[in-house]
Each structure stands twice: as structure tokens, then as C-alpha cells.
Structure 1
Amino acid sequence: MQQRKNKKNPLWMIGAAGVFLLTQGKFLLALLKFGKFGGVFLSMLISIGAYAIIFPWSFAVGFVLLILVHELGHVIAAKQKGLPVSAPMFIPFLGAFINMKRHPRDAVTEAYIAIGGPVLGSIGALAVFGAAIYFESPLLYSLALAGFLINLFNLIPIHPLDGGRIVTAVSRWLWLVGLIGGLVLIIYNFSIILCIIWAMFAYDLYKKYVKHRKTGGEKRAMAASFLIPAEPLIAEGYLIPGEEHKRELDFVTYSDLEGQQYVYVIWEGLNFTGTIPLMQQALIRKTHVTRLERIQKEDGLHLMIHCQVDYDPFDNDKYYEVPIASRWKFGIAYFALAGFLFAMMSLVHKVGNI
């Protein structure tokens, strides 16, 4: 046992790597300009620097890497379901997120993508716990505990946390459990982050089940801009309107076989057409030009057409129609994972003397 304690602890490399990366600012910025995932690395470095204000460098690096593993679980699950998503982006003290370029078409798919994060994140935390036992490292014990905690926290059944999306395939009544349980947690152990998330969730439920029944639905808008050459239009005799010009546009909307909806806008007066993809299925109310912008480039005058699509989200009742077998599958997986994480946190406390 004494020999193991004298074994050189390799954890110094975590902190050293973090310090090295942050001291190579100019090199990294030059590299990130060309990297597809430049924004990911930059947001990771910013988060590491933010956490390092409170915690040691080695813990900050390890903590951000655990969050990355969690988010990669969502990415992998989304790819398996054929849904395009962005790379993870980190926000200091709030974790990270991925941007879904198209919403799931049913609750089962939403739950599958949501549970992917806690599953892979729990595996990552378990690996850190195993390394902590082998190296007898207080730092790794702390990281393992943090990893189990962030994945358990994400299982609280409220949106936008993963738990709120997983229970969509189990029972939406669990949202009420999350609403009451989240309020109890806030009262007995106040957390500003949990308070903000709970308030957002409560307002979302109010909009979905109370406000919209009175107002007749939620109205949304999506903006898009198109840059077109103006010189050919002028040469053909088209009249270019002023920058404050506003007008409604004709449109056609359609969906592809994968459920992606598009709005095809038409402005005959400028011989212009453009396609705008929507993030979700919707009922289009109108499309219109909000502003025109004249831009002078080396190859001549260009016109930036700023458009807006006003729509009402299409609430498909079949979205929540989940087979009984799937409800049981996700229900068992959800509660089993929550129980496992709670048990592992207790074990880390016991073994690591934290």
C-alpha cells in the first residue's frame, strides 16, 4: 500500500495541459479560424478559465471534459436517429448545449437523444471513479463525484434538463412531479441556476397548457436574409425599393420525406425566390420583407433582403403517442439510472472520504 502512495501521480498532466493550452492563445486563435470545431475548443477554454477562478486548474479541466463527454452522448444519440446537431458549445457555470437543427418527430426520439447524455456522462464519471481508486487521488474522487452529480441533476424531470425530455416518453404527469420537486429543492437548498431553470419550465408549462388555450396558440417568427446581385436587376429595368421598404411575399411550404419543412418565398417584382428551413412543423401565417440593405462590393451593388416567416407551431397529438413497451423501457432506464447515480455518489463519499 505504501508503494502505491509513492507512485508518481499522473494527474499533474491535467493541470499542466490546461495551463499550456491557455498560454498558447495566439496560436490557438489562428488555428481555430480554420477548424470546424473551433468554437467548441474556444468555449471549452473560456469555461476552463472561468471554473479555474474558483477551483484548481486540474479540477477545472477535468470538470469541463466530463461535461464534454455528457454532451457527446447527446450528439451520438442524435446521429443514430439521423438528426443533424451542432457541436457542443460551453457556457461557464451553466454547462454546455448542442443545437438541434431539426426537432425530433416523436417523443421516443426526443427521449432517446436526451438519455444519451446522462448514460455516456455516467460512464465517463465511472471511469474517473475507477482511476481514483487505482491512483488513490483525492482530485479524481472529487471529479467523479462532480460527474455523478451533474448527470443526476440533469435527470430532474423539468425542461430544458434531460430528465424533462426523457419523461416525455414515460408520462407527462412526471413534469408536475418535477415542478413540485424542483420547488422543494429550491426552498431547502437554494441554487440560482436551478431557480432560473425552474422558472423557465414553469412559464413554459403555463404557455403550453394555460395561456395558449385562451389565446388560441403560440405565435412565432423566424428570420432569414438573402444576398442577391442588384446590377443585373437594374440592367433589366427592375425598380429597387428603398431600405425601409416592407411588403408581404407569396410563399409555398412543403416538407421532405424526413419531415423537414421549408418555406419557399417569392418576390416577383424583383425576380427573387428563396428557401427558408423551419426548425419544426408549423402553420404559416404570412411571409414578409422586414428590411432591405444595399451593400456595395467589388463586383458591384448587392441587395440584402431580410425576410420573416410568421407561423404557429403545429402541435401534433401523435407526438406523445408512445407504445407501452417504450414507456416501460424508458421508465425503467430513467429510474435505474437515477438510482445508480445516487448510489455512486454515496459510494464516492464513503470510499473517497469526501
Structure 2
Amino acid sequence: MAGLNFAASIGKKAKEDIPVTNVQVEGIVVAKIIKHCKECLPNFVTGQLLGLDIGSTLEITYSFPFPNKVEEAGGDEDEDASYQLEMMRCLREVNVDNNTVGWYQSTFVGSYQTLELVETFMSYQESIKRCVCIVYDPQEAAQGSFGLKVLKLKEKFLNLFKEGKVTATTLNQEGVTSKDMFQELPITVTNSSLVSAMFNVLQSDGQADQGTFDRLTFVEPDLLERNLEFMMESVDEYHGKIYQVSQYHRMSARHELQHQQWLQKRKQENAARRAAGEDPLTEEDPNYTPLTEPSRMESFLISNQTTNFSEKVVTLGGQALQKLCIVESLYQK
């Protein structure tokens, strides 16, 4: 038994050392996530992801939604936890994978990089070291994109946040930037043989249908305008954070100057006391406490959001230009 326990511990340790590099999701899970997020628009929803952790691949085989707190007013965290445990107990009775591997959530125009997301990761990391979050954006999916992203926190940033060291000094020493917060993992959608066979039967013979022509629909001006508005708001928020940091440095310099003046005065007073044969006073100011350096967490999140919105503007503009060129060539023919 001792040998088995030792082997099991070695296997567990080796498993935790292997980073997750790929996420494999069942097609039914993708359909359930999309259905849940679209049905509850414009409210944001979340749900649990269940599956298997195999080496560098995280397999997601089942999911279930969390109760909508907007509809069920008065629900607390204890009720949510009881609901999750009851659902997993029921799934275990019908031989469904009931190992928690993360959660999913809906977002609006890519605005998912928030402090709440990081704190949720930390909450899951306490019991599940290799967890992921699937983010679904209905607005992006409506424009023909996949709409699903799989995220996880990078290990270096995770350790700094856990220790409460997300400050400018620590981040510069560790070489951590805003790009080192989240890691987007590749996602693979798999289906059973029966589902794949059904798709082959339903697939058309290459003839153009309405769905084919819908791909030439131009990007909605409202969507492009909304991304531009969010990007400008993020830039304004980032400037506000820069002002807060500059205020901290000014107040810190003034505070340090006052301390140095007090210390110099105390040294002169002690020199006079020594000359008079008296005991010197302590040179530690009881009222002096260094100012706490502000956290860079919100600045990092705002920077990532700004980058995300700007990339979406570039993508939407590029798609519209490509469709214009295609339509123009069709008219010329």
C-alpha cells in the first residue's frame, strides 16, 4: 500500500507540473453554453464546467447553468454552493463526469477582463489548480465569429496576486506586464461518431444558400461605434489611473521630505543634548508611516481592455473592407 500511495503522489505531482496547453470541448457543451447565454440576454450568466484533466489536455464533457440571481432575488452564496453540490450529486448518480474543471460566463463586446474574473480564478485555484474559464460573446458570434474563448491566469501573475504584490516596484522587478495576466488557450470542439454522421447527412452539396450570402453582410455600424466608445472610455479610465499614480508620487515625495526635515531637526537636537551631557532622544518618528503604493491591478485590466477593443475595431474594419472588395468584384463580373 505504501508503494501505491507513493506512486500516486508522484503521479499527482507530475500531473500538476504539466501545464494545460489545449482544451477539448464536447459539441453538446458548446451548444448548451450558447443557448444559455442567448436566452438570458441582456443579463450576464455563468455556469459550471465538468470534465476530465488528462495530461496537457483539459476535456470538458458537461456543463450546467447557475441560477440567475436577477430572477431569484435574495439568493446567497450558501444557496449557490448547495445548488452546485446537489447538481453534481445527481450527475454522479447517472454516471456523468462530475469533476469541476472551471466555469463559463457571458460577456458584452469583449468586456470580460475585470477584477471579478481574477478573483473568481483565485477562488477556484484554492481547490482546483488547473481550471479554465470559457467566455462567450453573443455580439461577436452574431458577426460570424466563433465567440468562445478559453482563458486561464498565467502562473507568475497568479503568484504575485496571491501574495498581494501587484505594485509597480514588484512588477518591474519580475518583468510582468499587462500581457502577462491572461493566457488564451486553443479550443477543440469534438463530437461523437453519430453526431458527425448526422452533420455529413445534413451538409449541403456545395450549393449556395441564404446562410452563404449572409456572410457578405456588412458589419453593423452600431457594433463598430460601440467598440470605439468603449475604447475611448477605457483610455479615459487609464488616464485617471495615471493621475492617481502621479498624485501618489507627489504625496510620497512630500511625506518623505517632511520626515527628512524632522529627522534633521532631531539630529541637531541630539547633538545639542550630547554637548550638554544629556541622553539623546530617539531618532525614530512615531508618526511616520510610508505611504502604501497603489495596486496596478486595475491599470493592467484597463490596458488589456483597451487593447482588446482596439483589436476588435481593426478586425471589424478589415472585414468590412474585404467584403466591399468582394462585392465590387462580383458587380464588375
TM-score of Structure 1 vs Structure 2, range by shorter chain: under 0.3
Looking at both structures, which has the greater relative contact order when contacts are Cα pairs under 8 Å and sequence separation is at least 6? 2
- Specify the structure having the higher radius of gyration (Cα): 2
TM-score (normalizing by structure 2): 0.23
Q: Which has the higher strand share?
A: 1
